[in-house]
Amino acid sequence: MEIQKAKCHSCGGEYEYRNSGNMIIFCPHCHHCDNVCCDFGFGPVTPCTIDMGTEKLGAITIEKDGRSEKYKLISEKYGIDTYLESSYMEAIGEAGRMISDRIENG
Q: Supply the minimum distance, in Å, between the C-beta of residue 14 and Zn ion.
A: 9
Judged by CB, which is closer to Zn ion: 9, or 81? 9
Judged by CB, which is closer to Zn ion: 30, or 89? 30
Which residues of this chain interact with Zn ion, rule CB under 5 A? 8, 10-11, 13, 27, 29-30, 32
Q: Supply the minimum distance, in Å, between the C-beta of residue 26 and Zn ion.
A: 8
- Give the helix/strand (H/E) hosting 71: strand 68-75
Integer Cα distance of 67 and 7 in angstroms? 41
Instruction: Give the C-alpha distances (Å, rounded to integers) separating 66 from 21, 37, 44, 83.
Output: 27, 28, 18, 15
Q: Supply the minimum distance, in Å, between the C-beta of residue 10 and Zn ion.
A: 5
Q: Which residues contact 41 (CB under 8 A, 6 or more apart)?
A: none
Judged by CB, which is closer to Zn ion: 7, or 63? 7
